[in-house]
Amino acid sequence: MTEPKTHTATIELKEPAPLEVPVGATFVVKVVVTCAEGCDLHACTLDIAAPAGAGAAQQTPPATADAGFEIACQAPPRVGDHVWRIALPQAADVRHDAEPLSINVSVTPQATSLAVWDIPSPAVMGKAFEIKAGAKSAGDFKLSGRAIEVCDEAGAVLARGCLGDAPWPGTTGLYWAQLRLSAPEREGPCAWSVRFAATDIELPHDGATSKFSVAVTRPAEHRLTVKVTEKDTANPVEDAEIRLGLYRAITGPAGMAAVEVPKGTYDLVVWKVGYDVPILSTEVDADRMVEVEATVVPEEDPDAIWQV
């Protein structure tokens, strides 16, 4: 029997492989196989040994020898360093002697991110309020049923809930919970955090923490009613934003809005596109009404620079 010919061959990466990949994620490497004697190897099938639990790697032969095989690999469900080994199979007529290519990849936990919304502005001292908090897996894995917590500055748990079965509408995996909190018995800013431990998930995930703040104020004592009209016509100005410190309101069709605030002195700010309203210092020591005149600001004429 005639011994098969032996040719020297090489297997190398066409592009660098990723250094890190999250558990369960798919990544693609490009491999070029060449023969020193010029054999056309681009249509051969490579032998690929994947780590346990990673599943079979899928290879796409290149259209030409220099294009490179595209090999889709899936990271195993275990954190740590893993190796994929790629070798050339041996044909009956020609033996290609090539060192197997080892691809070393560090598999990391899936990342998680947090969101907090519906935070009251402001919260009232000693009063209960609710916020919404959600967690999302970077790989869009299901996080329903997992615990999410709100902690104070010292790390003490203020509220705990479980993420619901369905993601927040319009998102691809933001699982959320409604959490009930109580504002502290002191006025001023309050810095808290949402914490997600990411335990008991099928694939390892990193935990996450996100800070948020709540402005806490004294209970409202008086009602300030603001009426906004156009200076030249006395017509009511609808949809104007009223601001008194942390407090907000929007005027209705009659140009009026009411804001309940604690006793004190406030800068009354009225804002609407197309109007100019001076800031008014306002003392609130009883229920009262304030009338504000808004000056219409003419629109700029885009052709003005061409007019003589």
Q: Return the pLDDT at 130.
A: 96
Spatial separation of the C-alpha atoms in residues 107 and 77, rounded to whole Å: 8
Asked if 259 contacts 223 with a C-beta cutoff of 8 angstroms, the reply is yes
Q: What is the pLDDT of residues 144-154, one digit of tens each?
A: 999 999 999 99
Considering the entire predicted model, what is its pTM?
0.75
Residue 308 scores a pLDDT above 50: no
What is the pairing mode between strands 58-60 and 69-74?
A: antiparallel
Structural domains of the chain in order of their starting residue, each with its CATH number: 5-108 (2.60.40.10), 112-217 (2.60.40.150), 222-296 (2.60.40.1120)
**Residue 246 burial by CB count (10 A; 0-12/13-18/19+): exposed, middle or buried?**
middle
Q: Return the pLDDT at 96.
A: 84
Interval 201-223 mean pLDDT: 93
Lowest mean pLDDT among 61-70, 77-86, 177-186, 226-235: 61-70
Asked if 68 contacts 29 with a C-beta cutoff of 8 angstroms, the reply is no
Spatial separation of the C-alpha atoms in residues 147 and 197, rounded to whole Å: 7
Residue 44 scores a pLDDT above 90: no
Residue 174 scores a pLDDT above 90: yes
Angle at 154 between CA 162 and CA 151, to 5 degrees: 15
Alpha helices in 97-152 (DSSP H): none
**Residue 118 burial by CB count (10 A; 0-12/13-18/19+): exposed, middle or buried?**
exposed
Q: What is the pLDDT of residues 290-306, one digit of tens each?
A: 999 999 998 765 554 44
Q: Return the pLDDT at 300.
A: 66
Nearest by Cα to 13 from 83, 68, 84, 87: 68
